[in-house]
Chain A
Amino acid sequence: MSGEHSTYTPTSGIERWVDSRLPLPRMLHDSFISYPVPRNLNYAYTFGAMLSVMLLVQIVTGVVLAMHYAAETTVAFNSVEKIMRDVNHGWLLRYMHANGASFFFIAVYLHIARGLYYGSYKAPREILWILGVVIYLLMMATGFMGYVLPWGQMSFWGATVITGFFSAFPLVGEWIQQFLLGGFAVDNPTLNRFFALHYLLPFMIAGVVILHIWALHVTGQTNPTGIEIKTKTDTVAFTPYATLKDALGVSVFLIVFAWFIFYMPNYLGHPDNYIPANSLKTPAHIVPEWYYLPFYAMLRAITFNVGPIDSKLGGVLVMFGAIIILFFLPWLDTSKVRSAVYRPWYKLFFWLFVANAILLGWLGSRPAEGLYVILSQLGTLYYFGFFLVIMPVLGLVETPKRIPNSITEAVLEKRSGGSPATV
């Protein structure tokens, strides 16, 4: 695409017959075989492939788990245990699915960080970025509802706390919460609808992923230099070059994934979720799944009232705001330079942002008391400061390094400067 002519040439009669009726093979060939990608893509550009694999893993394991799971409060917990104990290979399927959710998020965070570092969200890729944020939001909703299904203590109380966010909104809050729950508390109607939606949302994700890839193939990939493709020498064919690099990245990722599935399947979970849900007894500490922790920390950081907004509503607004702000990223960054490679100050602030996100994640798991609260507040301040102050201002004041004229030039410079990239 990107103005290229199709290089697909049907060789057999059958291929010609199909091509003139439904040119699907042509589309796949043009998108995943002859499609030109920048020749300097590094392994940070393989996270998309990992995400595709994880989406597939989650859908396939999820569909077979649904064959054995029962979404009814009195039997849900036991049906999961039946999968673990009696269903053939059920333990494997469930551990794949449970850890798969975590690895899906690990991959998505890496993918987002790659986008932030190399400025992948900048014009003309705004829609591509926004679709990505939509996918991330859908993933969060899916992950949350999936965690409720085993109907353990953390399932139940996590659902209670998270739907409780909505009660913070004045006037309509309580109505929204009851609407979501289908009752006055988390109960059977909640579990049933969460199961239905948990089954539905991944397919919506898959749909948005197709749009995401479509948008990607319209604008073309960015690359570590942030320079657009100018000539054919700047590119290589998707297959075999990008395909093999992706395959290697995915394969290494799968090794780590398998390590968790087979050797520490419960490491990323919480022991309390092996206790059946009890609506009369809250666990000592409620912690969401690790991938929500930074947002959870920001929720709890707001311990003070701001004018008419009390701390509860303030926390909820900050938490939702932390995600909503991502939609506006393409317009918050004022820099003309795309890649952090040529932006020394942005690079520094970017790594601080990463460290801050990890710090917030850790704080989200701590009790909300003492120094932890103050650190969470500072972390929240930096999170929003990064997007609302640093990004707009830095773009105007920062002096970027010299940028090569083309991708090819950048590659050649690098090769002559450092060790030749024969790998």
Chain B
Amino acid sequence: MSEHQTSANKMGAPHAGPDGEREPTRRDFLFLTTGMAGAVGVAAVAWPFIDQMRPDASTLALASIEVDVSSLQPGMSLTAKWRGKPIFIRNRTPKEIEEANAVALADLKDPVARNANLPADAQASDLDRSAGQGKENWIVMIGSCTHLGCVPLGQAGDFGGWFCPCHGSHYDTAGRIRKGPAPQNLAVPTFSFVSDTVIKIG
């Protein structure tokens, strides 16, 4: 089969004559163009197959929920579900707030607030972790450990906040990581008080 060797540049070999210099060049260009067009086509076809993995329109549409918190007395919590994850809403006691305020920011493992309602560089003070001025008692967090996503237990652990039983991460009463493998404070989702008793998350 040697006379039918395969690579494209040998294709013009039988032509090597006076105009043999020009012809193979034109052909090489043609082969290159065809090959490139094929590559572009394959890449374009690949996109829908990748794109279909992203969250679909109905998933993205379930972006916000409203939660009635009128029944939560200080020291009580509830868990709502938002985007498939638990949301911890806690009406904190004055003692818990005090404990959280007593911690120096320099002692925190993660000094950033991780609060979606504030600028990304906001400090992890108790105020900036809570629902803000006048609503310091409320804390709203995504109940998903920042280590590997287990749901932490409430009012547990060395700091009286949350404790993740999977790998032993301890969070304080403001949901800040204090001890254990988790790298960040529990995330605060976008939320707002629609009225005094209804929180809209998302």
Contacts and interface: CB of A to CB of B under 8 A. Distances in A.
Contact of A237 (B1, B58, B59): B1
Contacts of A4: 1
A86 B52 contact: no
B57 A86 contact: yes
B27 to A, nearest CB: 11
Contact of B51 (A33, A67, A82, A88): A88
Interface of A: 4, 7, 33-34, 36, 60-61, 64, 67-68, 82, 85-90, 92-93, 232, 235-237, 239-241
Contact of A82 (B2, B53, B58): B58
B6 interface: yes
Chain B binding surface SS class: helix
Contacts of B59: 86
Contacts of B5: 237
Contacts of A33: 6
10 contacts: A61-B49, A82-B58, A86-B56, A86-B57, A88-B51, A88-B57, A90-B56, A235-B1, A237-B1, A237-B4
A237 B56 CA distance: 48
B14 interface: no
A240 B2 contact: no
A64 B49 contact: yes
Contact of A89 (B2, B4, B11, B51): B51
B54 A36 contact: no
B126 to A, nearest CB: 41
A86 B58 contact: yes
B1 A93 contact: no
Nearest to A63: B49
Contacts of A61: 49
A92 B48 contact: yes
Contacts of B54: 88
A7 B2 contact: yes
Interface of B: 1-2, 4-6, 8, 11, 47-49, 51-54, 56-59
Which 6 A-B pairs give the minimum distances between C-beta atoms? A89-B48, A237-B4, A86-B57, A86-B56, A86-B58, A88-B51
A8 to B, nearest CB: 11
A96 B89 CA distance: 46
Given A82-B58, A240-B11, A88 B52 contact: yes
A423 to B, nearest CB: 15
B69 to A, nearest CB: 31
Nearest to B51: A88
A62 to B, nearest CB: 11
Contacts of B48: 88-89, 92-93
A7 B2 CA distance: 8
Nearest to A91: B48
A108 B28 CA distance: 35
Given A4-B1, A36-B1, A60-B49, A88 B6 contact: no
Contacts of B52: 64, 67-68, 87-90, 93
